């Protein structure tokens, strides 16, 4: 089951559509005659019932809409919490000259940074970097979740980009500004939809690619995670309660611009394509940040285009 968001409404994405074409979708609330909500956060609380229903939808009698990919929004627009993990691939830790953490390096991406899978992002500086990441969506929440049953709490997976402004990230000396530097408007595009966890046999063996103008920048696999997803869920939930819809950005493999010699960053006109096996792809175009007093229009609804005035 694939659940996307179109005009703020949860939409069942019909399988079998190509990666670059317009896709087809079914408005869940309408097609279920109100049995299910249009709000994905509510759907995550009855995910199994939704899966049952989705498996029985009769495509011959249900209204199906063509959906332009650039109208897809962030599948979870307003999660209570967003977690992200730094240096969670040994190859990436090495390229940025940081040691492999002995405990997960946790920060947040603020929800105002969320954007849709085809979001255009304005570059605030000349040192914005890319990080393709597997993003887990929590279904059943909980506190003190043991790693043995941790994956039972995952509703599904998405592709994410942990866009990062490297200058601010390391500013301030002793306490790096990871959370702020990774939360400019549009810095957390996710999608293209939630792929339910039953369709992913092993989240610890997914290949991922990030490329720009056909040039592969990152090529990795979640086999190389330092702390795998069950470990992360156990660790996070040993401190905070996890809620339905919470997102976990699990870290990025090597190949980021900061670790290159010479260093390389995104420039206006670039298009970044990030994909993960079985989950689809997200696509970001980059524009100049207009004006020093820019006020972001992008909000947690994850509109597909981030406009700056």
Closest by Cα among 176, 153, 185 to 303: 185
Q: Which is nearer to Zn ion, 29 or 108 (CB)?
A: 108
Q: Which is nearer to Zn ion, 32 or 252 (CB)?
A: 252
Closest by Cα among 70, 1, 11 to 38: 11
Does the protein bind Zn ion through residue 131 (CB under 5 A)?
A: yes
CB-based contacts of 178: which residues, under 8 Å, 6+ apart?
84, 86, 107, 169
Q: Which is nearer to Zn ion, 56 or 97 (CB)?
A: 97
Candidate ranges 193-201, 216-224, 244-252, 299-307; the one touching Zn ion (CB under 5 A): 244-252
Does the protein bind Zn ion through residue 254 (CB under 5 A)?
A: no
Does the protein bind Zn ion through residue 281 (CB under 5 A)?
A: no
Burial profile 18-40: b = 16 or more Cβ within 10 angstroms, e = fewer:
eeeeebbbbbbbebbeeebbbbb
CB of 252 to Zn ion, least distance (A): 5
Q: Which is nearer to Zn ion, 141 or 255 (CB)?
A: 255
Partner residues linked to 135 by β-bridges: 158, 249
Candidate ranges 117-125, 127-135, 137-145, 219-227; the one touching Zn ion (CB under 5 A): 127-135
Does the protein bind Zn ion through residue 73 (CB under 5 A)?
A: no
Q: Which is nearer to Zn ion, 109 or 303 (CB)?
A: 109
Does the protein bind Zn ion through residue 162 (CB under 5 A)?
A: yes
Does the protein bind Zn ion through residue 250 (CB under 5 A)?
A: no
Distance CA 22, CA 24 (A): 7
CB of 78 to Zn ion, least distance (A): 21
**Which residues of the chain form contacts with Zn ion (CB under 5 A)?**
131, 162, 252
């Amino acid at each position: 089951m694939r659940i996307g968001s179109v005009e703020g409404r949860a939409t069942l994405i019909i399988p079998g559509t190509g990666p670059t074409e317009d896709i087809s979708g079914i408005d869940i609330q309408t097609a279920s005659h109100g049995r299910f909500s249009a709000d994905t956060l509510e759907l995550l609380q009855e995910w199994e019932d939704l899966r049952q229903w989705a498996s029985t939808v009769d495509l011959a009698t249900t209204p199906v809409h063509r959906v332009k990919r650039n109208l897809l929004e962030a599948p979870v627009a307003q999660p209570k919490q967003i977690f992200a993990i730094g240096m969670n691939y040994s190859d990436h830790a090495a390229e940025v000259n940081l040691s492999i953490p002995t405990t997960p390096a946790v920060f947040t991406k603020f929800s105002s940074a969320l954007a849709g899978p085809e979001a255009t992002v304005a570059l605030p500086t000349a040192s914005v970097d890319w990080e393709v990441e597997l993003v887990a969506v929590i279904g059943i929440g909980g506190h003190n979740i043991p790693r043995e049953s941790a994956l039972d709490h995952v509703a599904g997976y998405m592709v994410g980009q942990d866009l990062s402004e490297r200058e601010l990230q390391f500013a301030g000396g002793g306490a790096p500004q990871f959370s702020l530097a990774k939360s400019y408007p549009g810095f957390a595009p996710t999608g293209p939809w939630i792929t339910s966890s039953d369709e992913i046999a092993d989240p610890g063996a997914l290949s991922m690619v990030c490329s720009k103008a056909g040039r592969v920048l990152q090529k990795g696999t979640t086999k190389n995670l330092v702390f795998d997803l069950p470990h992360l869920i156990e660790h996070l939930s040993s401190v905070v309660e996890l809620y339905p819809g919470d997102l976990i950005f699990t870290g990025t493999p090597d190949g980021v611009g900061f670790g290159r010699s010479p260093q390389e960053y995104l420039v206006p006109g670039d298009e970044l394509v990030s994909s993960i096996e079985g989950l689809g792809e997200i696509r970001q175009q980059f524009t100049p940040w207009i004006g020093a007093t820019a006020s972001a229009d992008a909000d947690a609804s994850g509109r597909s285009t981030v406009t700056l005035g």
